[in-house]
Amino acid sequence: MGVGVDWGSSNIRAWAFKPNGEIAAKSHLELGLADARSQGFDGVFEQLKSQMQLPPQTMFVACGMNGAIYGWVHLPYITCPAAAPVVQASAIDAKKNDLWVLPGLSTSDGVPDVMRGEETQICGAIALGHSGLMCLPGTHLSLGLRRLQKRYC
């Protein structure tokens, strides 16, 4: 069993998956990145794990703000285009084989932009056979819409 964690700037969400892809357990903490930093990332992670009641050997893979410059560990952005294996190979083991943190993606052609978390959701959607335009509004929606408006309108 593995757990996917979306460590956002305002919430932390986690899903434990069975080998067949079914969700076995969920967890949600309404903690922003600054709150997690002030409380201590280790303690917040342990709180998340305890809510899920999983075996001790369970591996967690996290995307999002825990890999940002003010996050738990800092991972530089990977330049787009980037395939999923490149992102996976760039992960950092933050908790001794317990928590792997994925990097975000960036582009500098045209209007520079970055993603931390959304790229992992997109990779998951593609792995499930989805294609086409994907819109993932989050905490930074207003900034992203302004960038899109400047770029395309």
Give pLDDT tens digits for 79-116: 888 888 888 899 998 877 689 999 988 887 777 677 77
- Determine the pLDDT at residue 153: 41
Each domain of the chain, given as residue ranges in start order, spans: 2-152
**pLDDT one-digit tens code per residue, 20-64:** 889 999 999 998 888 999 999 999 999 999 999 898 889 999 988
Residue 4, SS3 per DSSP: strand
Q: Measure CA 151 to chain center.
A: 26
The architecture that CATH gives domain 2-152 is: 2-Layer Sandwich (3.30)
Mean residue pLDDT across the chain: 82
Q: Which residues are CB-neighbours of 18 under 8 A, at least 6 positions away?
A: 1, 24
- Determine the pLDDT at residue 96: 75
Q: Which of 21, 16, 22, 41 is nearest to 31 (CA)?
A: 41
Q: With beta carbons less than 8 A apart as the criterion, state whether 2 and 58 touch.
A: yes
Q: With beta carbons less than 8 A apart as the criterion, state whether 149 and 95 touch.
A: no
